[in-house]
Structure 1
């Protein structure tokens, strides 16, 4: 097995072995995910665009890759970093090994490094730029190249759908704005027999309203929400005209559209075991999360938004609701890809809010 090195922008070097695609000098932001399972969903989550994901669970790939659990057709992850990967998976559903899949999708992997040391470094210093390289012969030049690297800000543009498309159903008509949508969101709406029209991130509010939606869903997506002015403008122009539900990036765009602020977190939330408290009931849900930015709690004071949920680990804003309009959002992933499924009921809540809005609209007609 060939050698491969991970170089961090602080000068740290991790030596391991290469697997997956034979791509040299791949650059991205190195982050970590604490999920014990669900690596296929993680690899194919568009929200990881341009990121090198380190899995904290030590053995990855043991159940292979199957045809059913993808969150997108073309993954946008920059690289995968693991302690150990399984060359010979054992599961009745598997159709490819992890190594085969990464090779097919041109994604480099790094194995046999001390992932605990790497994660501790990220927790201490925060998420940072990193490079995967197969040679350290020109280490100084590689490091200088890494220091000069400026992260891109067009991730949403690169992962959003290019054209609208329809997933037919017979009940509520939902417009799903694709900022980097996970297919799990579509699965939840189709299970509820909704008629879903998926549209690009830059589609105007006027064009969306011409579709006569019963509700608008703002999907998850990668990057800094302030780099998506089209999404902020869209929310401003839709509020009060149609019920809106936002997830992850969609949650942050709603906050910005209402005058709140967002900030980059030190190392983000990425995992399937994040406890979130519902402030109205005191109930606690375990949630799946993947975000490096968060809504700034202190900035909500001068807005029409109310915080409805909070992260128990660090008091991050996890849920918002508009005081006047049928608009609400959550920072985590209720589509449960990968699980847990505690918050899956939020899709039913959205449909209930659509019903309430329609009843109210008839009353005031």
Structure 2
């Protein structure tokens, strides 16, 4: 069956269909990873996007239960040069084709993905429509024109957990605010014995306070951070009250809460090979990234934020810390492992920050707090 991908600039790609017989609109982006296509498909940060893989062969090692980063894939379409329908891997349980069919996601193969990537790099990300239908091109152009970016801005609510749940542990209690969190974040925290409470994206500061956390983890997630102003307000209220660690979207929300600004990148950072320099040590880390927005460098001046990491390719901000409060963030994904576990130390740094905060913070004895509450109720 034929499939077609139409970009908003009028460029049309025709190729072979795989996955679902469907029609989806989204932001067309590219990922430079050689492996990790299952993690890409199941990363909630790709919600609302049609993802192009620059590596030419996709599907050769199949899909396995253990490699999902969320409960289901959230992409709106999948674009590859060559799709391998029969995986060769002892871990494989089914194919990319069957996964996409199960969730109604269309795929297209046998197109020039190098040309598509060059278009995105030159002109920036743009809307596109991926279809297996026989509709005339003019009708597809009209449909694409009627789709506004605003319709693609409900991603956080679409990917966040609808209700609170726990992953019990015996050590520090961490409230993980789910803006579209990858499973790897929860896995890193629980592997360190943390008592993790995962809460929805719109949980208020007062609701978090009632959970009596030791620290707050702001997760990754899809879309523009300015589309979730309530989350910025929540972070602003809790900043300085609890240790905070932000990842990806959580990094951007932390920056906005501290008075900085964010802006859209031309074509974003998506892949497992992005070099990031830690300014304090001068060390370079190879990181996994997936984001289309960044913290504006000039906007950091005049705030109480300090830049800790930069991207070695385009010098954009990759890490921040607060100069007064126990809070820091990174734009990349320390829970991912593009080779060795280079960046997982950040979770240890977060827990160490929590312990230092608890040791340095003078708290009234719990008995005195309870007694005061009873007295106030009278």
**Residue 96 of structure 1 corresponds to which residue in structure 2?**
94
Alpha-carbon distance between aligned partners in 2 of 1:137 and 1:253, rounded to the nearest angstrom: 41
Tell me whether 1:14 sits opposite 2:13 in the alignment: yes
Alpha-carbon distance between aligned partners in 1 of 2:340 and 2:272, rounded to the nearest angstrom: 7
Secondary structure of the 1:68 match is helix
Runs of 4+ in 1 over 4 A off after TM superposition: 337-340
| Pair 1:68–1:137, CA change in 2 (3 A) | closer
Scaled by the length of structure 2, the TM-score of the pair is 0.94
**Residue 251 of structure 1 corresponds to which residue in structure 2?**
251
User: What's the CA shift for 1:147?
Assistant: 1.7
Q: 1:70 aligns with which of 54, 68, 71?
A: 68
Matches within 5 A, 1:186-335: 186-335=186-335
Alpha-carbon distance between aligned partners in 2 of 1:159 and 1:135, rounded to the nearest angstrom: 28
Deviations 1:76-110 (A, max 9, x none): 11011000111111111100011011111111111
Answer yes or no: is the 8 Å Cα contact 1:35–1:56 preserved in 2: yes
Answer yes or no: is the 8 Å Cα contact 2:300–2:306 preserved in 1: yes
User: What's the CA shift for 1:180?
Assistant: 0.3
Deviations 1:232-264 (A, max 9, x none): 001101011100000000000011111111001
User: What's the CA shift for 1:154?
Assistant: 1.3
Deviations 1:32-89 (A, max 9, x none): 0000011101000000001000000000111100010101112211011000111111
Answer yes or no: is the 8 Å Cα contact 1:272–1:338 preserved in 2: yes
Alpha-carbon distance between aligned partners in 1 of 2:337 and 2:50, rounded to the nearest angstrom: 19
Answer yes or no: is the 8 Å Cα contact 2:218–2:245 preserved in 1: yes
Alpha-carbon distance between aligned partners in 1 of 2:133 and 2:21, rounded to the nearest angstrom: 12
User: What's the CA shift for 1:338?
Assistant: 5.4
Matches within 5 A, 1:122-141: 122-135=120-133, 137-141=135-139
| Pair 1:171–1:137, CA change in 2 (3 A) | closer
Secondary structure of the 2:270 match is strand
Answer yes or no: is the 8 Å Cα contact 1:41–1:337 preserved in 2: no
Matches within 5 A, 1:173-184: 173-184=173-184
Count of residues in correspondence between the two structures = 363
Secondary structure of the 2:174 match is strand
Secondary structure of the 1:235 match is helix
Deviations 1:182-220 (A, max 9, x none): 000011011101110000011111110111111000000
Deviates more, 1:354-363 or 1:293-302: 354-363
Secondary structure of the 1:217 match is strand
**Residue 31 of structure 1 corresponds to which residue in structure 2?**
29
Deviates more, 1:258-267 or 1:333-342: 333-342
Alpha-carbon distance between aligned partners in 1 of 2:363 and 2:223, rounded to the nearest angstrom: 41
Scaled by the length of structure 1, the TM-score of the pair is 0.97
Gaps of 5+ in 1: none
Tell me whether 1:121 sits opposite 2:114 in the alignment: no
User: What's the CA shift for 1:362?
Assistant: 3.8
**Residue 352 of structure 1 corresponds to which residue in structure 2?**
352
